[in-house]
Amino acid sequence: MGGDAQKKRIAIIGVSTFLLVAMVVAVTVSINLNNKGSSYDSKEESKSSVASSIKAVKTLCAPTDYKKECEDSLIEHSNNITDPRELIKIAFHVTISKIGEGLEKTELMHQVENDPRTKEALDTCKQLMNLSIGEFTRSLDRFTKFDLNNLDNILTSLKVWLSGAITYQETCLDAFENTTTDASLKMQRLLQSAMHMSSNGLSIITELSKTLSEMHIGKPGRRRLLNNNVLGHDYFDLPEWVDDQVGVRKLLHMTGRKRMAHVVVAKDGSGNFTTINEALKHVPKKNLRPFVIYVKEGVYNEYVEVSKNMTHVVMIGDGGKKSRITGNKNFVDGVGTFRTASAAILGDFFVGIGMGFENSAGAEKHQAVALRVQADRSIFYKCRMDGYQDTLYAHTMRQFYRDCIISGTIDFVFGDAVAVLQNCTFVVRKPLENQQCIVTAQGRKEMNQPSGLIIQGGSIVADPMYYPVRFDNKAYLARPWKNFSRTIFMDSYIGDLITPDGYMPWQTLEGLRGMDTCFYSEFNNRGPGSDKAKRVKWEGIKALDSDGISNFLPAKFFHGDDWIRVTRVPYYSGQPSPTH
């Protein structure tokens, strides 16, 4: 080991508190924290081992919000282990167990429940808790197989996945809003321990990531983008259409779609299938290569789900107005928001091109989702999402939208994803007479979650039907759905439909939410609605300079963007060039 490396190793070992974890995880050399060359008798050694384990547990739990639960659960299951890496794995196992206990009790509640809305909420909770367990399970698997040279990227993925697990639990509780039974309170009690342990897990990984970043440990060197199929976060085979130097652009031409499609969907029977769901049945399970589905022009009245095990699906249509998935499930007719989506995308590395997603329920039906996305590293290019309230549910994971059109009335872009919407158009539609319009409602619950909505290079405009009433039915940029809601508007055109206040508080039974804890900022925008002089004076409204805004430019916000670059979707990783 060279002189500089030796100094770094000594520094890691010598630094106090959380660097102990960084040392064990990042270095993983033959240092046995239990090996003291024992000259003690077995009794003294046992006492020393217990004391060392408790100290290691307290060190690990130091950055968490629920320290007692963290310490008690680890001490109970640690069997005097002092290796922080093993303690982190134990913490994950305990959390999975806690969520599992909540899942079992949910099943029992479901069996005795008669109220239809509550019964549906319980069904939704079961689905979401299974998803939450899945995120902890893959985080545990990834953490177990970490690579020192790629540690920074691994920890980034862990933060995204654990954040998703927390959001799924919170969405479970949200499902009980407007139910008439006491099931909501029961579910809060059932999930409290699991939610606290999940929060602790994210805090531990976040602190570890922060420590490594400060020490410049685990950051991969700059590599050629397509070298050896290494894409920055994980290893997977490249799309064949990347190799031809044309990428996604070739799929925008009719001949390219026909040639590269594995299956063709056509309403008129001229393809392999007449429905998208039939085509999806032919996606290989846990697929590692892009599976291209060409959806020919037509209105597809079906509820489409790209499930968790349908990875690397590329769905290309003839345009957002031509190849359209539509549905009309809605809250007023008895369906919870989560289940109203006309299309739900869960499979990682999904790419949608030239597709339309619509919920036709109408403004009077309230919450009615057109598209719900939970797919990690998913991309939507030249797509269209149309609805009224809650049109695009950017629920969890990393998502990138480019040149898309999203229309709606209330909270029509919402959720808790790590999402960048670049060069997209947001069309505010005419609401009901007594309603006001809000473009975004981001749902970040905890400060350690890496999530947020980044609106970059876009346009916020009025639909022709809304334009005459835009000053009567006011429109706002955002309202904080959850306490730590985070949304950035940069380099965008903001029309005069946006009220000078800019932001609306979230009203709850307990009062107004998020005004001091949210994180909202506007940078380098233009247009009559971009004047910040009369914006609300909340603690959560931040004035960022160019250095501050750099943290929210796509490459830095995503903490790695090779998964976007390989598709050759038009994209700028920093500030837009003058041509954009």
The full set of domain ranges for the chain reads 51-212, 239-368+376-393, 409-569
* Token code pair at residue 24: 């064990």
What is the predicted pLDDT for the residue at 254? 67
Among 28-37, 149-158, 421-430, 571-580, the minimum mean pLDDT is found in 28-37
Domain at 409-569, CATH from 2.160.20.10, 1.10.10.10, 3.40.50.1110, 3.40.50.1010:
2.160.20.10
pLDDT per residue over 109-125, tens digit each?
877 677 888 889 999 99
Distance CA 488, CA 498 (A): 15
For residue 26, is pLDDT > 50?
no
What is the predicted pLDDT for the residue at 85? 86
What is the predicted pLDDT for the residue at 422? 98
What is the predicted pLDDT for the residue at 42? 57
For residue 496, is pLDDT > 90?
yes
| b/e code 423-444 from CB counts within 10 Å (16+ = b) | bbbbbbbbbeeebebbbbbbbb
Local structure of residue 512 (DSSP, 8 states)? E
Same topology, domains 51-212 and 239-368+376-393? Answer is no
For residue 24, is pLDDT > 50?
no
| Beta strand residue intervals within 240-377, DSSP E | 263-265, 291-295, 298-300, 304-306, 313-317, 323-327, 343-345, 351-353, 356-359, 371-373
Higher pLDDT, 260 or 283: 283
Q: Is 239-368+376-393 assigned to CATH 3.30.70.20?
A: no
Distance CA 74, CA 90 (A): 7
For residue 565, is pLDDT > 70?
yes
Percent of the chain with pLDDT over 70: 83
C-alpha distances in Å from residue 526, one per residue of 256, 472, 504, 534: 38, 23, 21, 15
For residue 4, is pLDDT > 80?
no
Contact 500, 531 (CB under 8 A): yes
Contact 465, 430 (CB under 8 A): yes
Which of 137, 124, 192 minimizes the C-alpha distance to 164? 137
What is the predicted pLDDT for the residue at 570? 92
Distance CA 565, CA 504 (A): 36
Among 76-85, 90-99, 195-204, 382-391, the minimum mean pLDDT is found in 76-85
C-alpha distances in Å from residue 536, one per residue of 445, 504, 539, 540, 567: 22, 8, 9, 10, 40
Mean pLDDT calculated for residue range 119-144: 94
Beta bridge partners of 419: 399, 453
For residue 311, is pLDDT > 80?
yes
For residue 579, is pLDDT > 60?
no
Local structure of residue 23 (DSSP, 8 states)? I
**Which amino acids are annotated catalytic?**
411
> Judging by DSSP bridges, how do beta strands 511-513 and 506-508 pair with one another?
antiparallel
Stretch (H or E) spanning 547 = helix 546-549
Local structure of residue 367 (DSSP, 8 states)? B
Q: Supply the CATH classification number for the domain 51-212.
A: 1.20.140.40
What is the predicted pLDDT for the residue at 103? 87
For residue 330, is pLDDT > 50?
yes
* Token code pair at residue 303: 């509820």
What is the predicted pLDDT for the residue at 21? 47
Among 174-183, 273-282, 431-440, 504-513, the minimum mean pLDDT is found in 174-183
pLDDT band at 68 (very low <50, low <70, confident <90, very high): very high
Among 79-88, 244-253, 500-509, the minimum mean pLDDT is found in 244-253
